[in-house]
């Protein structure tokens, strides 16, 4: 509980829009020294401030691809779906190209 309050106070003082659900993810990750997965800019800023390792969704998919848990067809489908519902992570096309070395699907 103290850690959650600490992160909430930090988010407020940093003028971030990080909410309680975000804090519920960052606080245990900080305590347990495990990474979190998020594409939320303010959450990334807060996590970086306290050295919590962050993976963006595309970076997690790359790890899953490398471990053969998913394939590129599935990744392309997810990317296309995000575009279809107009819910792309920030800088998604640039991140996609950087992570997968190919032009993102349309």
pLDDT at 90: 87
Instruction: Give the closest residue to 30 by CA, choosing from 8, 7, 52.
Output: 52
Q: Please, which residues have CB within 8 angstroms of residue 83's CB and are 6 or more apart in sequence?
A: 105, 106
The one-digit pLDDT tens for each residue of the chain (106 residues) are 688 899 999 999 999 999 889 999 999 999 999 999 999 999 999 999 999 999 999 999 999 999 999 999 999 999 999 999 999 998 899 999 999 999 998 8
Domain ranges of the chain: 2-55, 57-100
pLDDT at 106: 80
* Beta carbons of 58 and 89 less than 8 angstroms apart: yes
């Amino acid at each position: 509980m103290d850690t959650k309050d600490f992160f909430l106070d930090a988010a407020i003082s940093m003028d971030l829009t990080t909410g309680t659900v975000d804090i519920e993810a960052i606080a245990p990750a900080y305590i347990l020294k495990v990474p979190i997965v998020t594409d939320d800019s303010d959450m990334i800023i807060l996590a970086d401030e306290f050295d919590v390792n962050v993976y963006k969704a595309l970076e997690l998919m790359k790890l899953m691809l490398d471990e053969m848990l998913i394939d590129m067809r599935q990744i392309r489908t997810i990317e296309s779906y995000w575009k279809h519902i107009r819910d792309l992570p920030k800088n998604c096309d640039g991140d996609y190209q950087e992570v997968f070395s190919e032009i993102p699907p349309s």
